[in-house]
């Protein structure tokens, strides 16, 4: 029996298995700095830093952290948007043997407190705009080391801030000052092993507080090699000297961390750092650069960019090498539009628990609606949704179980949840998919998102796809809401395209033409915008929670 039937679908120059280097993540910086020392490693608001400069600053900061007392295994929190300071601090912390804790600086006080207490971090690197929350939090938790930067400190021609100008507490450190004050650029003497922990990446979590997926150096190196080599059919033809990645996905998110930050270092690609997605700013970046080799993004951003009037004027299709989409499914119409522009598009599926890499579309053999095939060295099973044990029959939906080199070590400080999710190396994902006769996978839905209405199982993603195909709809998502009679019912949340008007009756009638009666939304709510995560993924969970709260009033 062929246990990996999908290998036959791999593009011609994608390896079936990979020989992964057994070195720590920060070695990617040393390699890039040795091969293209004078190439721009980062581009931030018009200012560049070379790979050699990034390496120098990384080592200075690493040695400064060692002098502060940071030792192997200590946890260092990074709470910053995409900026050169994040890049430097990330690799500096790893160089000391510390474990990076990725923190979304937009989280609430309680969420941040939980993450910091759960990981027991003793050092926090953050930025000026987060200080209103970080000041009282650091004081309450008694953090040992707090390092602060100003977002504009690495923009040329803007004066660098200081500890005094930021009014930092006594004993706190200023990012630029500690680097300026440490001239030591030797590599810290730390004994690294592939299984050593490197990153704690918190999952979004559907209930309660998030869980911290513990990723080793080997997990991250495996993920970045899997991701990079899967792009061979297109990226192999773009010389390293011309490679750039548009980094809009936040680096504190596992998707940005693997597919932008670490991918860039492996490929010696210039990281065009964008702290926050702004449509006009992104269009200006495309106009400035002849070629963006890699653009990892999400469907909401893709929709906005390809429909922008400036896209046709600048011949956007000629400027993007590979457009990667994750977070949620790309509507079929959007995929076709991207292909018609001449852009090679790869959809993918992954989790914090797999360092973002799991299943991806072969670039030359992309099937619309499919997330593709498991990346090299990954094994995937589809098991019965109820029991989680028996493999389902071909073509039937089942929960994805995945085993591979990027699968996490477990959840930090949470042995019970680790035991629930990881069994004999197989990770239970909570995602439901089916596999076709060619070995391509199709996400059906999240197990927790499934709507059970009057005894019928409704997968809201199927409803989403129909809603998105309506010519007046810009964005839409379906969710299960409480219903006294049916238990749950399907409700659609819709954002119309500018200048369009529609009625609830019109949307429901459209769905009746394309869906079985029990799947048709019973309610439609029109909104100006939908709640989204930091990477632009529409949050079905928030909408459902709002409806549950209404039903209890």
Which stretch of DSSP H or E encloses residue 541?
helix 540-551
Domain of 83, CATH number, reads: 3.40.50.980
291 falls within a domain: yes
Q: Are strands 40-44 and 270-273 parallel, antiparallel or unpaired?
A: parallel
Q: How far is CA 135 from CA 68, 74, 165, 175, 546, in A?
A: 20, 21, 15, 16, 31
Q: With helix as H, strand as E and coil as C, how does 325-346 read?
A: ECCCCCCHHHHHHHHHCCCEEE
Do 392 and 423 share a domain, yes or no?
yes
Do 339 and 428 share a domain, yes or no?
yes
Do 92 and 65 share a domain, yes or no?
yes
| Average pLDDT score, the chain | 92
**CA nearest 221: which of 244, 192, 180, 243?**
192
Predicted pLDDT of residue 204: 58
Q: Which phi and psi (to 5°) does residue 443 adopt?
A: -70, 130
**Distance in angstroms (rounded) separating the CA atoms of residues 345 and 363:** 6
Do 468 and 539 share a domain, yes or no?
yes
542 falls within a domain: yes
pLDDT tens digits, residue range 379-399?
999 999 888 889 999 899 999
Number of H helices, E strands in the chain: 18, 27
> What tokens appear for 503 in the block?
């009625």
**Distance in angstroms (rounded) separating the CA atoms of residues 75 and 475:** 39
pLDDT tens digits, residue range 421-478?
999 999 999 888 999 999 999 988 776 777 877 666 687 878 888 898 899 999 999 9
201 falls within a domain: no
Do 165 and 57 share a domain, yes or no?
yes
Q: Are strands 173-174 and 145-149 parallel, antiparallel or unpaired?
A: parallel
Q: How many CB atoms lie within 10 A of CB 220?
A: 26
List of residues 6+ apart from 387 with CB closer than 8 A: none
Asked if the model's pLDDT at residue 207 lies above 70, the reply is no
State the pLDDT confidence band at 23, using cuts at 50, 70 and 90: very high
pLDDT tens digits, residue range 168-185?
999 999 999 999 999 999
**Distance in angstroms (rounded) separating the CA atoms of residues 58 and 179:** 9
**Distance in angstroms (rounded) separating the CA atoms of residues 24 and 326:** 26
196 falls within a domain: no
Which range of 258-272, 339-353, 359-373 scores highest in mean pLDDT? It is 258-272
Instruction: Name which residue leads in pLDDT, 385 or 400.
Output: 400
> What tokens appear for 278 in the block?
């702004």
170 falls within a domain: yes
**Distance in angstroms (rounded) separating the CA atoms of residues 299 and 306:** 10
Q: How many CB atoms lie within 10 A of CB 517?
A: 8
Predicted pLDDT of residue 128: 97
> What tokens appear for 470 in the block?
């309506």
Do 332 and 473 share a domain, yes or no?
no
Mean local confidence (pLDDT), 271-283: 95
Do 341 and 260 share a domain, yes or no?
yes
Instruction: Point out the domain boundary residue: 395, 419, 446.
Output: 446
Domain of 488, CATH number, reads: 3.30.300.30
Asked if the model's pLDDT at residue 2 lies above 80, the reply is no
> What tokens appear for 170 in the block?
């006594």
Predicted pLDDT of residue 106: 85
CB-count burial class (<10 Å; 0-12, 13-18, 19+) for 494: buried
373 falls within a domain: yes
Mean local confidence (pLDDT), 99-123: 92
Q: Which phi and psi (to 5°) does residue 552 adopt?
A: -90, -10
Annotate 34-81 with DSSP letters as a single string.
Answer: HHSTTSEEEEETTEEEEHHHHHHHHHHHHHHHHHHT--TT-EEEEE--
Q: What is the pTM of this model?
A: 0.85
Mean local confidence (pLDDT), 241-252: 95
> What tokens appear for 221 in the block?
């190196």
State the pLDDT confidence band at 206, using cuts at 50, 70 and 90: very low
- Contact (CB, 8 A) for 534 and 107: no
List of residues 6+ apart from 167 with CB closer than 8 A: none
Compute, in degrees rounded to 10, the torsion defined by CA atoms 261, 199, 251, 380: 80
State the pLDDT confidence band at 209, using cuts at 50, 70 and 90: low
Mean local confidence (pLDDT), 298-310: 89
> What tokens appear for 380 in the block?
């995937």
Domain span including residue 539: 451-551
> What tokens appear for 218 in the block?
């080997």
Domain of 218, CATH number, reads: 3.40.50.12780
Span between the terminal Cα atoms of the chain, in Å:
56
DSSP-derived 3-state class of residue 291 = coil
Q: Which phi and psi (to 5°) does residue 12 adopt?
A: -60, -30
Do 542 and 422 share a domain, yes or no?
no
81-90 CB burial, b ≥16 within 10 A, e <16: bbbbbbbbbb
Asked if the model's pLDDT at residue 164 lies above 80, the reply is yes
Predicted pLDDT of residue 545: 85
364: which DSSP letter? Answer: T
Which range of 255-259, 486-490, 528-532 scores highest in mean pLDDT? It is 255-259
Do 403 and 489 share a domain, yes or no?
no
In total, how many domains does the chain have?
3
Predicted pLDDT of residue 181: 96
**CA nearest 252: which of 212, 198, 197, 201?**
201
CB-count burial class (<10 Å; 0-12, 13-18, 19+) for 518: middle
- Contact (CB, 8 A) for 256 and 65: no
By residue count, the chain amounts to: 553
Q: Which phi and psi (to 5°) does residue 518 adopt?
A: -70, -15
**CA nearest 518: which of 469, 480, 550?**
480
200 falls within a domain: no
Instruction: Point out the domain boundary residue: 424, 446, 468.
Output: 446
Q: Long-range pairs for 529-532 at CB < 8 Å and ≥24 separation?
A: 529/495, 530/475, 530/477, 530/493, 530/495, 532/300
State the pLDDT confidence band at 15, using cuts at 50, 70 and 90: very high
**Distance in angstroms (rounded) separating the CA atoms of residues 6 and 3:** 9
Predicted pLDDT of residue 208: 54
Instruction: Name which residue leads in pLDDT, 333 or 356.
Output: 356
Do 388 and 249 share a domain, yes or no?
yes
Do 16 and 131 share a domain, yes or no?
no
**Distance in angstroms (rounded) separating the CA atoms of residues 248 and 253:** 11
Do 167 and 219 share a domain, yes or no?
no
- Contact (CB, 8 A) for 36 and 268: yes
276 falls within a domain: yes
Which stretch of DSSP H or E encloses residue 430?
strand 426-435
Asked if the model's pLDDT at residue 205 lies above 60, the reply is no
């Amino acid at each position: 029996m062929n246990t990996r039937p999908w290998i036959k679908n791999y593009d011609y120059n994608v390896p079936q298995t990979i020989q992964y280097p057994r070195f720590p993540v920060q070695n990617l910086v040393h390699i890039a700095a040795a091969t293209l020392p004078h190439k721009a490693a980062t581009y931030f608001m018009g200012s560049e830093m070379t790979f050699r400069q990034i390496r120098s600053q990384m080592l200075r900061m690493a040695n400064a952290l060692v002098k502060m007392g940071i030792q192997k295994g200590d946890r260092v929190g990074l709470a910053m948007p995409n900026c050169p300071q994040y890049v430097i601090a990330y690799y500096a912390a790893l160089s000391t043997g510390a474990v990076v804790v990725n923190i979304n600086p937009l989280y609430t006080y309680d969420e941040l407190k939980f993450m910091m207490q759960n990981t027991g971090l003793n050092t926090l690197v953050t930025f000026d705009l987060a200080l209103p929350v970080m000041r009282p939090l650091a004081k309450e938790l008694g953090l040992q080391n707090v390092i602060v930067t100003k977002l504009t400190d690495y923009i040329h021609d803007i004066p660098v801030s200081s500890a005094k100008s930021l009014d930092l507490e006594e004993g706190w450190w200023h990012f630029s000052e500690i680097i300026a004050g440490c001239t030591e650029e030797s590599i810290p003497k730390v004994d690294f092993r592939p299984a050593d922990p490197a990153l704690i990446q918190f999952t979004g979590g559907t209930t309660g507080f998030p869980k911290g997926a513990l990723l080793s150096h080997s997990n991250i190196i495996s993920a970045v090699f899997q991701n990079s080599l899967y792009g061979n059919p297109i990226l192999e033809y773009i010389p390293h000297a011309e490679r750039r990645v548009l980094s809009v996905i936040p680096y504190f998110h596992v998707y940005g961390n693997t597919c932008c930050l670490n991918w860039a270092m492996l490929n010696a690609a210039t990281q065009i750092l964008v702290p926050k997605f702004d449509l006009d700013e992104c269009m200006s970046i495309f106009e400035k650069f002849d070629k963006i080799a890699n653009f990892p993004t999400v469907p909401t951003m893709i929709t906005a960019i390809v429909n922008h009037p400036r896209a046709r004027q600048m011949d956007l299709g000629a400027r993007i090498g590979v457009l990667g989409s994750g977070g949620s499914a790309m509507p079929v119409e959007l995929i076709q539009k991207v292909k018609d522009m001449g852009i090679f598009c790869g959809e993918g599926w992954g989790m914090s628990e797999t360092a973002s890499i799991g299943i991806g579309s072969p670039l030359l053999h992309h099937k619309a609606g499919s997330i593709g095939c498991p990346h090299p060295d990954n094994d995937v099973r589809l098991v019965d949704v109820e029991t989680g044990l028996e493999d389902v029959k071909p073509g039937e939906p089942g929960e994805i179980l995945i085993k591979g080199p990027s699968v996490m070590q477990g959840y930090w400080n949470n042995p019970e949840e680790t035991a629930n999710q990881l069994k004999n190396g197989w990770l239970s994902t909570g995602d439901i998919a089916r596999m076709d006769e060619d070995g391509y996978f199709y996400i059906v839905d999240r197990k927790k998102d499934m709507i059970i209405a009057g005894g019928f199982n409704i997968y809201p993603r199927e409803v989403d796809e129909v809603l998105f195909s309506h010519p007046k709809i810009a964005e839409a998502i379906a969710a299960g809401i409480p219903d006294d009679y049916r238990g749950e019912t399907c409700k659609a949340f819709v954002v119309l395209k500018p200048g369009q008007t529609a009625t609830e009756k019109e949307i429901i009638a459209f769905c009746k033409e394309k869906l079985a009666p029990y799947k048709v939304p019973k309610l439609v709510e029109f909104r100006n915008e939908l709640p989204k995560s930091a990477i632009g993924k529409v949050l079905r969970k928030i909408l459902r929670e709002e409806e549950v709260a209404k039903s209890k009033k």
